[in-house]
Amino acid sequence: MHAISTRPLPATSHGHDPPQTLVILGPDGAGKSTLIEALTRQLLNERIRARRLANAAARSWLTKFCRRSGITFPTFTQDFFETSIRGFNVARNMVSAAHSGGLSVMDRHLYCQLVLRRLRGHPSGLLLPWLAAKSTECARIILLDIDPHLAYERIVSRGKDHETLEYLSESRDEYLRLAQLHGWIILDASLSTSLLVEQLRLVIGK
Domain map of the chain by residue range? 20-204
Q: Which residue has the higher pLDDT, 30 or 74?
A: 30
User: CATH topology for 20-204?
Assistant: Rossmann fold (3.40.50)
pLDDT at 6: 38
Looking at the predicted structure, is the pLDDT value of residue 1 above 70? no
Average pLDDT over residues 169-177: 98
Give per-residue pLDDT as tens, 180-196. Answer: 999 999 999 999 999 99
Give per-residue pLDDT as tens, 29-67. Answer: 999 999 999 999 999 999 999 999 998 876 665 566 566
Please count the other Cβ atoms lying within 10 Å of the Cβ belonging to residue 1: 10
Looking at the predicted structure, is the pLDDT value of residue 16 above 80? no
Kindly indicate the confidence band of residue 4, based on its pLDDT and cuts at 50, 70 and 90.
Answer: very low
pLDDT at 159: 80
Is-contact 111 132, C-beta < 8 A? yes
pLDDT at 197: 98
Mean pLDDT of the chain: 87
Looking at the chain, the whole-number percentage of residues with pLDDT higher than 70 is 86
What's the CA gap between 109 and 86, in Å, rounded?
7
pLDDT at 30: 97
Looking at the predicted structure, is the pLDDT value of residue 69 above 80? no
Average pLDDT over residues 112-120: 94
Looking at the predicted structure, is the pLDDT value of residue 5 above 60? no
Q: Which residue has the higher pLDDT, 198 or 206?
A: 198
Task: Give the CA-trace dihedral at 190, 196, 199, 204, to 10 degrees.
Answer: 130
Looking at the predicted structure, is the pLDDT value of residue 162 above 90? no
